[in-house]
């Protein structure tokens, strides 16, 4: 009887705590499913396709709705204009305090570009954008390198003409090689086992990705294998393997660095570390840890999205031979067959650009963005997930 009374008191205490602390907040939230005490809608989203569930919520509650997961209250925005408006506001540039993000960045979430906020985010983001531009990203100076990668890709594909081929690793190799060259000043042969290992690590990490899963809001069941058995362990395996590879690159650059001879992005970052003072996110050992996180962010976010877009493009073209034929005719008419394409051809490749825009419209590369958090009371709910309009 005493045990029953204790349990009853505990239950009543939890109900009282929930009523006092949560109900006033829920009244300020956008409409949405109530969910269970403590865990909210977490298990429902984990056991079902979250994208499909959000589509149902959108039809029921509107373009802006809220869900609870663990100790977090989340506002989901599904309208394109609202998403853009929110992303432009400084108060929504924060990041939630997720344990996985913290451990990924060496015990401090506020490193790199993807998962940090505040002055560190502004400082690192500004440098990364400038550094990539300085080494040719998006400029004509990249053309020679890209054409070389394209020729290697063509030679690889010619070996399998008339045969079924898995394009996943093939596209990953070319895209990753381009990014690797800008960042480290080196490139791999497409048959290099190191490149194949790096591709395998990236693909496996994306497939078991914990970057945007709802489990981040109530992480310990995933961490201890109660949900998604093996997911956390696979993430740790990827982290350790990629950590060794990236630290080898950093150590090699630190050993061979020469003042005034900047060879690539990593050298430029090391120069910034040496020129920084205490209080900067580039300073001393913290700068080196930020360099590792930045490299990890670039490769995870950049390589997979581009190669996946190319795979979708090939799929749609193979299923629409009429479109494929018109693309080829335009390329032959504008460029011909005696030279490779260049940036100057783009304004005249009107149909090709329309096809690429349609591929982006139809395929779903990243339905969720990285989670955002309000950094101050803006009169709006605290946590934001952004998903594209129409999902």
DSSP output for 27-89: HHSPS----BTTTBTHHHHHHS-HHHHHHHHHHHH-SEEEEEETTEEEEEE--HHHHHHHHTS
Range name among 23-27, 261-265, 322-326 with the lowest pLDDT average: 23-27
The residue assigned the tokens 């108060």 is 91
- Residues 166, 248: one domain? yes
Alpha carbon distance 213, 264 (integer Å) = 34
- Residues 139, 285: one domain? yes
| pLDDT at residue 300, rounded to an integer | 76
- Residue 22, domain member (yes or no): no
Alpha carbon distance 117, 33 (integer Å) = 30
List, for residues 276-287, the tens digit of each pLDDT value: 999 999 999 999
- Residue 112, domain member (yes or no): no
- Residues 347, 335: one domain? yes
Residue 382 confidence (pLDDT) above 60: no
Alpha carbon distance 310, 317 (integer Å) = 11
- Residues 356, 379: one domain? no
| pLDDT at residue 375, rounded to an integer | 78
Domain count within the chain: 3
- Residue 17, domain member (yes or no): no
- Residues 194, 291: one domain? yes
Domain boundary among 319, 341, 356: 319
Residues 6+ apart with CB under 8 A from 193: none
- Residues 87, 180: one domain? no
- Residue 37, domain member (yes or no): yes
- Residue 34, domain member (yes or no): yes
- Residue 75, domain member (yes or no): yes
- Residues 186, 306: one domain? yes
CB atoms within 10 A of CB 332: 10
| pLDDT at residue 27, rounded to an integer | 65
Tokens of 276: 């920084």
- Residue 261, domain member (yes or no): yes
- Residue 253, domain member (yes or no): yes
- Residues 312, 333: one domain? no
The residue assigned the tokens 């090699």 is 252
- Residues 70, 127: one domain? no
Residue 144 confidence (pLDDT) above 50: yes
Q: Which domain holds residue 78?
A: 28-96+371-386
**Parallel, antiparallel or unpaired: strands 72-77 and 64-69:** antiparallel
- Residues 305, 215: one domain? yes
CA distances from 186 to 295, 318, 378 (A): 15, 34, 46
Domain boundary among 296, 319, 342: 319
- Residues 249, 157: one domain? yes
List, for residues 32-62, the tens digit of each pLDDT value: 898 777 778 877 887 788 888 889 999 999 9
Residue 128 confidence (pLDDT) above 90: yes
- Could you tell me how far CA 116 lies from the centroid of its own chain? 13
- Residues 291, 326: one domain? no
- The mean per-residue pLDDT over the stretch 82-99 comes to 84
């Amino acid at each position: 009887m005493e045990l029953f009374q204790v349990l009853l008191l505990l239950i009543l205490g939890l109900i009282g705590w929930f009523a006092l602390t949560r109900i006033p907040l829920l009244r300020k939230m956008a409409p949405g499913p109530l969910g269970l005490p403590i865990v909210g809608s977490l298990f429902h989203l984990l056991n079902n396709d979250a994208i499909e569930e959000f589509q149902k919520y959108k039809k029921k509650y509107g373009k802006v709705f809220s869900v609870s997961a663990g100790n977090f209250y989340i506002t989901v925005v599904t309208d394109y204009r609202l998403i853009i408006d929110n992303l432009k506001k400084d108060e929504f540039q924060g990041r939630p305090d997720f344990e996985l993000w913290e451990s990924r960045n060496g015990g401090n979430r506020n490193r790199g570009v993807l998962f940090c906020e505040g002055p560190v985010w502004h400082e690192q983001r500004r440098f990364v954008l400038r550094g990539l531009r300085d080494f040719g990203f998006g400029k004509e100076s990249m053309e020679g390198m890209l054409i070389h990668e394209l020729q290697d890709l063509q030679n690889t594909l010619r070996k399998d003409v008339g045969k079924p081929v898995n394009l996943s690793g093939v596209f990953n190799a070319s895209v990753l090689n381009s990014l690797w060259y800008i960042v480290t000043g080196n490139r791999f042969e497409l048959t290099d086992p190191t490149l194949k290992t790096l591709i395998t690590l990236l693909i496996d990490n994306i497939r078991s990705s914990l970057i945007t899963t709802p489990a981040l809001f109530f992480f310990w069941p995933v961490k201890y294998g109660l949900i998604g058995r093996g997911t956390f362990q696979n993430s740790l395996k990827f982290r350790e393997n990629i950590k060794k590879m990236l630290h080898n690159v950093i150590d090699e650059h630190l050993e061979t660095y020469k003042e005034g001879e900047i060879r690539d992005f990593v050298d430029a970052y090391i120069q910034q570390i040496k020129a920084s003072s205490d209080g900067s996110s580039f300073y001393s050992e913290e700068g080196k840890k930020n360099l590792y996180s930045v490299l990890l962010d670039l490769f995870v976010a950049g390589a997979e999205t581009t190669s996946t877009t190319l795979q979708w493009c090939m799929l749609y073209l193979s299923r629409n031979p009429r479109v494929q034929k018109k693309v080829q005719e335009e390329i032959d008419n504008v460029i011909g067959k005696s030279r490779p394409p260049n940036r100057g051809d783009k304004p005249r490749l009107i149909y090709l650009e329309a096809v690429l825009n349609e591929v982006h419209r139809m395929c779903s590369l990243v339905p969720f963005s990285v989670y955002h958090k309000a950094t101050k009371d803006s009169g709006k709910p605290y946590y934001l997930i952004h998903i594209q309009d129409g999902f």
